[in-house]
Amino acid sequence: MTIKEYMTHNHKECDELLAQLENEVENANWDKVLKLSDEFKHETLKHFDMEESYLFPMFDEKSSTGGCGPTKVMKMEHDQARSIFPKIEEAIKDKDSDRFFGLSESLMILIQQHNSKEEQMLYTMIQNIFNNDNDTIVEKLQSYEFK
């Protein structure tokens, strides 16, 4: 598996959790909603952390962008997504499905556009730069622990 394949697969796993979460809200299964919301948030924030704490700094150093290139834009989009999570949690707490769906749609659009940029451009650039270190980096990503 390549770095690009691993990270793209991880995007799809987070997308699937959001789809499951939306399905449970649709069915008003609020007990499952809370658990899925926590899982979706954790996995999404873990993905962001893998990038911000591991992949992006390596890429910035090797590509000599100094953190002002594409990774800066990706981090800003991560922050935008992070800002939506508390609002979603509040909508879930209030069992307000209309508000939840408005917020989840905004988050989904943001994440889909963001993921597309990473998958089509940034991960390809990262893969090209670190192709010789692929296996070591994928092993590190697979065992990554998010605190």
pLDDT in single tens digits along all 147 residues of the chain = 999 999 999 999 999 999 999 999 999 999 999 999 999 999 999 999 999 999 999 999 998 776 678 999 999 999 999 999 999 999 999 999 999 999 999 999 999 999 999 999 999 999 999 999 999 999 999 999 987
* Nearest-angstrom CA–CA distance, 11 and 8: 5
Decide: 26 and 104 in contact? Cβ < 8 Å. no
Find out whether 4 and 123 touch, Cβ atoms under 8 Å: yes
Q: Rounded to whole angstroms, how far apart are CA atoms 96 and 104?
A: 12
CB atoms closer than 10 angstroms to residue 12:
11
- Which residues have CB under 8 Å from 40's CB, separation 6+? 14, 17, 18, 20, 21
